[in-house]
Structure 1
Amino acid sequence: MEYSIEDVAAARSLQFAKYMYTSMATFWTYDYACSLHEEWTFLLRSHWSKMKGLYIATRYLPFILLITNLYMSFTPNENLVKCGMLVNITSGLGMILAICADCFFIIRTYVFWNKNKILLAAIVGTYLSFVVASVSIIVDTTASAAYATIPIPDITGCYQSSTSDQIFIPFVLFSVFGLGLMILTLIRAIHSWQRNQSHLYVVLMNHNILYYACVFLFSVMNIFTSLLLQDSYQTVLDGVQFLALAIIATRMHIHLWQTNQHLRGSSGLVHIRLSDMSSVNVTA
């Protein structure tokens, strides 16, 4: 039997998605196994707090997201209603995961600026407006998306035969937001560099800049893929962004906690309440 060019292209994109989701699940499991000792040390020794709860959500939510993505990749695509439901679930989980990861660094930026409540209100207000706009676009896109059954045998996975041109807008918004917070961090670092050169302060600054540089680069990458590639490729790269940012955020939080513990034990000169990141007190 001969198949159309569209069917072959769709089958290739679904196979690519299956391989990528499997690779992502393997990488996430490997990363978790490699950091298991550090992670349990942090979980057992650190105090329970809002930041610790945020860490747990950011660290373990990807397991649910990856399981859902794998199930979506291996489920038969004849059930179009199930495909729509799975896409909605993965979109919602991905958005929640991105928000959890971003919250770490929004709080850190607030601490960097000496707990400036006006700045915090501006950051949170801007972020919430971007989130609302992004959720509205995603809901509209998934609600109007059409799914198709691939006639080629042994091809599984949910395939969207039509997508909205607006799907790139959320990535534009988050790339702008990430670039804005990176600029705020750089401005604060330049102003306070001579007065505060403690190791913990440098770690906080580097973490913020690196994280939002990653947000910006991943978002730019997804802008181009959403405009140029098929939905399956685009969905996979969305998942790569969510997974990578979650790993970066949680690894950086553990590193910050370890740095704080080391400095407390070695010199006692640096004190930081990681329980809520509400204060940073550095004395020389």
Structure 2
Amino acid sequence: MSAINTGLQTAQYFTVGAMAVAIFDYCLTITQEVQLIWGRKWNVMRVTFTLARYVTFIGAAMTTFAAVADRSKYTSCSTFNSVSSASHMISIIAAEGLLIFRTFAFWQQSKKVLVWLLLLAAICIAGSVGVTKAVNSLNHPAPGANTTGCVFESGNTSAIQYGFLILFELVLIILNVYKRFHFYQDSRSRLVAILYRDGLVYMTCIIIASVANIFIDVFAPAAYTNIMDGPQLVIHGVLASRILFNLRESRESESAIIGRIIPLAHIHHTPSPSTTSGESTLINIQHNDHRAKDPC
């Protein structure tokens, strides 16, 4: 078996495996979605979740089809590839949107933080698309190269997009770590712990997957370039959905948490059974708390 066939087959295995993970995770979490999401008001949070949850399946299905189907008889696959790329971008942007909402909540709904994050996200999206197009315009296909777009491989310009994604994730990590140790240092809130833990795990996984994608795009042969395409998409969709499920479940278990976007303002915790009568587990997170001034 030639190196090209080995690379394409390996990419197929990874892509089909990612699709299987997405379906398996959906079967595991559909009950949570029904209980925690369905029947709720259609607001920005729910729309973002729905895009991250279901457009992921569209993108993963199209990528799986491109990986396993024999498309050698087609003269051009540019339209299919454009729709597939758009579904990938929408899904990842929506998943990152859930992370922005989560960081917004962790920073006590600071509008200044929200504006800066949205601005940074817009810059990263525009930068990744613009730089990629500029580089592609300078690269000319080699003589004899397949230009139909029907071969399951991509150029190394994808590394540019993943680089911008890593930049955005690093900014989110810095914001969350800073807030955790300068604001919630003494907090024993389960909700705060879940916000911090899930966000850190999610962003670390995304960075690892993005670094792997960059390494493959830059150093691996062209046949291997799509190995992490499907997995990266599924990681975004699965983890973003689970973050929201965990937050909703935690909120349901809390005694008095107001708001439908999981705000952290005015969170009161009832004493747990393990506390003594002299201990108080009441935590009042307010903007006017002298111990918890928001630097923004």
Category of TM-score, reference length = shorter chain: 0.7 to 0.9
TM-score for both structures, normalised by structure 2: 0.79
Structure 2 residue 212 is matched with structure 1 residue 217: no
Q: CA shift at 1:130, angstroms?
A: 0.8
The 1:52–1:197 alpha-carbon spacing in structure 2 relative to 1, beyond 3 Å, is same
1:276 to 261, 265, 270: 261
Work out the CA distance in 1 between the residues paired with 2:226 and 2:7. Answer: 10
The alignment's TM-score, normalised by the length of structure 1, stands at 0.82
* Cα distance change on mapping 1:245 and 1:16 into 2, 3 Å: same
Q: 1:56 aligns with which of 50, 58, 62?
A: 50
On the 8 A contact 2:176/2:196 being kept in 1, the answer is yes
The structure-2 alpha-carbon separation of the partners of 1:149 and 1:135, relative to structure 1 and needing over 3 Å to count, comes to closer
1:167 and 1:23, CA in 2 relative to 1: closer, same or farther beyond 3 A? closer
CA distance in structure 2 between the partners assigned to 1:233 and 1:272 by the alignment? 49
Shift of 1:206: 1.3
The answer as to whether partners of 1:175 and 1:216 remain within 8 angstroms in 2 is yes
Computed over aligned residues only, the root mean square deviation of the Cα atoms, in angstroms, reads: 2.6
Once the two structures are superposed, residues 134-158 of structure 1 have per-residue CA deviations (whole angstroms, 9 ceiling, x without a partner) of 12244456776856299xxxxxx62
- 8 Å Cα contact 2:199/2:243 also seen in 1: no
User: Within the alignment, does 1:76 sit opposite 2:74 as a pair?
Assistant: no
CA shift at 1:45, angstroms? 4.8
Report deviation, 1:231: 3.5
Is contact 2:14–2:230 with CA below 8 Å preserved after alignment? no
Distance in 2, Cα, partners of 1:117 & 1:148? 49
Question: Higher helix proportion, which one?
Answer: 1
Q: Is the 8 A contact 1:148 1:159 kept in 2?
A: no
Given the alignment of the two structures, is residue 238 of structure 1 paired with residue 229 of structure 2, yes or no? Answer: yes
Q: Is contact 2:247-2:262 (8 Å) kept?
A: no
1:117 to 111, 116, 128: 111
C-alpha contact 1:61 1:97 (8 A) present in aligned 2: yes
Structure 1 residue runs without a partner (length 5+): 151-156
Q: Pick the aligned partner of 2:158 from 167, 171, 181.
A: 167
Q: Give, in angstroms, the shift of residue 54 of structure 1.
A: 1.4
2:108 alignment partner, SS class: coil
Partner Cα separation in structure 1 for residue 102 and residue 182 of structure 2? 17
Q: Offset at 1:22?
A: 2.1
TM-superposed CA distance for 1:80, in Å, is 4.1
Distance 1:220 1:18, change over 3 A: closer
Percent sequence identity is 21
Deviation string for 1:227-278 (max 9, x for gaps)?
Answer: 0113442223022111112100101111111111122xxxx2x3042x3345
1:21 to 1:218, Cα distance in 2 relative to 1, 3 A: closer
Deviations 1:100-156 (A, max 9, x none): 011111122122222222322222211111111112244456776856299xxxxxx
Structure 2 gaps, min length 5: 269-281, 283-296
Partner amino acid, structure 1, of 2:253 = H
Aligned to 2:276: none
Q: Which amino acid aligns with 1:282?
A: I
Shift, 1:11, TM fit: 2.3
> Is the 2:104–2:110 Cα contact (8 Å) retained in structure 1?
yes
Which has the larger share of strand? 1
Give the letter for the 1:221 counterpart. Answer: A
Deviation at 1:59, TM superposition (A): 0.9
Q: 2:275 corresponds to which residue?
A: none
The 1:232/1:53 distance shift into structure 2, 3 A limit, reads: farther
Q: Which moved more, 1:84-93 or 1:26-35?
A: 84-93
Equivalence for 2:88: 94
Count of residues paired in the alignment: 263
The aligned amino acid for 1:280 is A
Q: Among 36, 39, 42, which residue is 1:42 paired with?
A: 36
Q: Aligned match of 1:188 in 179, 203, 207?
A: 179
| Matches of 2:55 and 2:126, distance apart in 1 | 21
